[in-house]
Amino acid sequence: MKTTQEIKSDFEQILSEVSKILGVTPDTAVQVSTVILQESGKFQRTEIMHNGRNNSNGDKPATPKQIKFLQDLGIPTESGITSRKASELIEANKGKGR
């Protein structure tokens, strides 16, 4: 996460760019810059959450439900199969079993 100082610096940079590009009043430039910074923060938090769940080296193990479903589909599962790999196999083989 960014420090307060880093956020302040980002805001000042965005404010400067918005003021130059849009040529709006200072109040409007502050409002636009605030919204841009808020949306950027949302995007960064989403990326952190997404990467935490799906990074290729730390993917979570497949759930018992996924393994059971794969077995019901007749798909052999290797020891240590990841949740992502199980999901891909399930998606690719839906409708072929049960």
pLDDT, tens digit, for every residue of 52-93?
655 455 678 999 999 999 999 999 888 889 999 999 999 998
- Give the pLDDT of residue 97: 56
- Give the pLDDT of residue 95: 74
- Give the pLDDT of residue 54: 52
pLDDT, tens digit, for every residue of 35-50?
999 999 888 888 877 7
**pTM of the full structure:** 0.49
Cβ-Cβ contacts under 8 Å for 33 (sequence gap 6 or more): 11, 14, 15, 18
Cβ-Cβ contacts under 8 Å for 90 (sequence gap 6 or more): 66, 69, 70, 73
What CA–CA distance (Å, rounded) separates 61 from 82?
Answer: 4
